[in-house]
Amino acid sequence: MTSRPGSRSARWTSRPCRRSRPRRRSTGCSSSSKEADNRGVVTQLEVLGDAPYAPGVPGGHVPHVVAWNLTRRCNLECAHCYISAGPNETATDELTTAECLRIAGEILEVNPAPMFILSGGEPLLREDLPVIASYASTRGATVVVGTNGTLLTDERIAALRDAGVTGVAVSIDS
């Protein structure tokens, strides 16, 4: 992998708002691809700024961080949830374990060492979460789970650790 010729740096900027915090703004190239399968599951890859250039990869860019909402199911009903997850959602439209492993494998073919952020909804509602995490971590990915934390138990923590999860991000606004 090399830097893409002619790419520019991304930089941090602030914009005034009630809770002002730095935002990353790309000053370089931008590309986006979107595809839908026969169930309407949409996959999108958007690359901004100085992403490494990889000849032969569609768009020429390698994803370093993959934030994957594995489910829309959740045990809470947070008003601020950006995917409207909640207890009324069902698993009928979720990808199967085999489909998740296939997609993870495709990502790992492009970049053998990305960071996978497995989130949702509440990813701990997926019984196959350790299987998906283990598949990615044993193939070189850094795996982090984004959760509301209410379903974390000593047993669940041990299972995630054994599956190669190296970090857990707990939302404190849930």
- For residue 5, pLDDT beyond 50: no
Last residue of a domain, one of 39, 61, 83: 61
Are residues 101 and 49 part of one domain? Answer: no
Q: Are residues 67 and 45 in the same domain?
A: no
Q: What is the pLDDT of residue 21?
A: 35
What pLDDT does 56 receive?
59
Residues 47 and 129 in one domain: no
Predicted confidence (pLDDT) per residue in 57-108, tens digit = 566 667 789 999 999 999 998 888 888 888 877 778 899 999 999 999 998 9
Going by the DSSP 8-state scheme, the letter that residue 123 receives in this structure is: G
pLDDT of residue 11: 31
Residue 26 and residue 75 share a domain: no
pLDDT at 10 over 80: no
Distance, CA of 108 to CA of 111 (rounded, Å): 5
- The single-letter DSSP state of residue 173 is T
Question: Are residue 54 and residue 71 in the same domain, yes or no?
Answer: no
Q: How many domains does the chain contain in total?
A: 2
CATH number, domain of 136, equals 3.20.20.70
Do residue 157 and residue 71 come from a single domain? Answer: yes
| pLDDT at residue 7 in the model | 40
**Is residue 1 over pLDDT 50?**
no
Q: Are residues 57 and 76 in the same domain?
A: no
| Predicted confidence (pLDDT) per residue in 32-59, tens digit | 455 555 555 555 545 444 555 555 556 6
Domain boundary among 23, 45, 61: 61
- What pLDDT sits at residue 93? 84
Say if residues 52 and 4 touch (Cβ distance below 8 Å). Answer: yes
99 and 162 housed in the same domain: yes
Does residue 123 share a domain with residue 38? no
- 110-143, pLDDT tens digit by residue? 888 889 999 999 999 999 999 999 999 999 999 9
Q: Tell me what pLDDT residue 2 has.
A: 39
Least confident of 14-18, 26-30, 112-116, 127-131: 14-18
Residues 22 and 107 in one domain: no
pLDDT score, position 47: 46
Task: Tell me: do 168 and 104 sit in the same domain.
Answer: yes
Q: Are residues 57 and 139 in the same domain?
A: no
Confidence of residue 174 (pLDDT cuts 50, 70, 90): low
What residue numbers bound the domain in which 27 lies? 1-61
Element (H, E) at 137: helix 129-137
